[in-house]
Chains A and B, each alone.
Chain A
Amino acid sequence: QQQVKQSPQSLIVQKGGISIINCAYENTAFDYFPWYQQFPGKGPALLIAINPDVSEKKEGRFTISFNKSAKQFSLHIMDSQPGDSATYFCAAGGIRSSSGSARQLTFGSGTQLTVLP
């Protein structure tokens, strides 16, 4: 009920290509869907986020597509660059049933993206 499933586990893309990472959730109480980017030795940092009122959000080369009925969302990285090589985590925000009223993020397992020069 509380899981966020992320795929693929790893992804290799040529420079200039499109990177696509997919996530699925089960808890319909989730109402906030951020993506975090993590470089080796660093903490995750917010990349882009969407709420379920819209089906797509674009910020520069990064786009989130959101399908509420399917309970799926994805990150698209256009014109992928070597500097995009990092681990990407999707997350879903809301109240977990076990947390009472505390709003929290539940993270996916991560996708290690490598962009070849």
Chain B
Amino acid sequence: EAGVAQSPRYKIIEKRQSVAFWCNPISGHATLYWYQQILGQGPKLLIQFQNNGVVDDSQLPKDRFSAERLKGVDSTLKIQPAKLEDSAVYLCASSLRQGARNTIYFGEGSWLTVV
């Protein structure tokens, strides 16, 4: 079974530029998550989708971050304009459904460096 696919794996941009990350979850997984993992810290949830609807984006900095999940499958996360503190690994994850004790499967992440 294919895992969660993410691209690009690495990106270096200058501050104030924009960047977009793409995620393809495991086939059939209804719930999709975007996490931000800053070096030395645990993953922090940015946004959670159930099919193509947002169920929680309370920790998404909406002045610069946006995300969408078209047709309930692939998702993109965009940052515009980027700040130095956005340097992190952006992890996409998916689970079969949003319920109690569903295993969340993570992709390998997209590493962002803002200079």
Contacts and interface: CB of A to CB of B under 8 A. Distances in A.
B104 A109 contact: no
Contacts of B2: none
A43 B93 contact: yes
A41 interface: yes
Interface of B: 4, 33, 40-45, 48, 50, 55-56, 58-59, 91, 93, 98-101, 103-109
A110 B103 contact: no
The secondary-structure label for the interface of chain B is loop
Contacts, number: 69
Contact of A43 (B41, B59, B99, B109): B109
7 contacts: A4-B42, A46-B103, A98-B58, A100-B55, A101-B55, A105-B45, A107-B42
Interface of A: 4, 6, 31-32, 34, 36, 41-46, 49, 51, 89, 91, 93, 96, 98-110
